[in-house]
Structure 1
């Protein structure tokens, strides 16, 4: 049964893969988001960096991707990559508060890359970053599940998106990151 769900999710994710010509009234670096400790992250502090934005969840089958996200962060941070984890309960698989998420990530995965507060990533209540990504890149920027990845280039525009099925250390993601760093 799990195999059929997995295949169904893959087909749905492929079906919604699309992009649009963007007008970019704002770029990623014009936005802000609250970090896991409640402080506001002015994203302009990451100007001229490449960003991998990933909606995460503690109780998801893809949660093991935290290991690869941390490795990716360690490999490319000095070259200009910023990994930002966005814990979300949009798919009902996240802990109930930020301190639980922070402890879970630190204890189980030794996460040192930035994490935001628990944030909505889809629908009308989605955070402005995810609405911005959808408006400027299309349906493929909308997370269909946890561990959906949005790659932002140094100009602050969406470069590409990757489904939950694409592992952070996949050649597909690594090649794209190395090409835009």
Structure 2
């Protein structure tokens, strides 16, 4: 049976991300897009990352141009996110969140959540320390609205 720990992604800088390294951590996965009207959420995501990373929160941004709102290159996206929003959490190379070229991680997340297609940028998936999905959040859900479930997940014991 597939778990979140079976996946791998590649950061924009070429470093490999092995989700097995996230065992025992709370993980927030977000599909991002620099030119999206919701891009200011990157600032809120970074604030959560700064506040809770030391307690076990990991945030992973996965840029996607699926909705035609991402910059032309991974380098431009990385620069934009760092310059405008101070992003320090890992950002992957761009992916597809729906369709024939869909990233396997998103196939897994959507199947686990049971909500089907990703409808827009900044859909969020929160996973607990046990690797289980806690919830899928709509694009308009502000990062601050996830603080309570994040704190609860961080407080949960790992079996």
Q: What is the TM-score with the length of structure 1 in the denominator?
A: 0.82
User: For residues 86-122 of structure 1, what are the alpha-carbon distances to aligned partners after superposition, in whole Å with 9 as ceiling and x for unaligned?
Assistant: 1110111001111111111111111100101111111
The secondary structure found in structure 1 opposite 2:144 is coil
Unaligned runs of 5+ in 1: 1-24
Structure 2 unaligned residues grouped into runs of 5+: 155-159
Partner of 1:158: 133
Q: CA–CA distance in 1 between the matches of 2:141 and 2:113?
A: 19
Shift >6 Å, 4+ stretches = none
- Give the conservation status (yes or no) of the 8 Å contact 1:55–1:143: no
Q: How many residues align?
A: 154
Match of 2:80 among 104, 113, 129: 104
Larger Rg: 1
Distance in 1, Cα, partners of 2:118 & 2:128:
19
* Equivalent residue runs for 1:25-104 within 5 Å: 25-104=1-80
**TM-score, structure 2 length as denominator?**
0.93
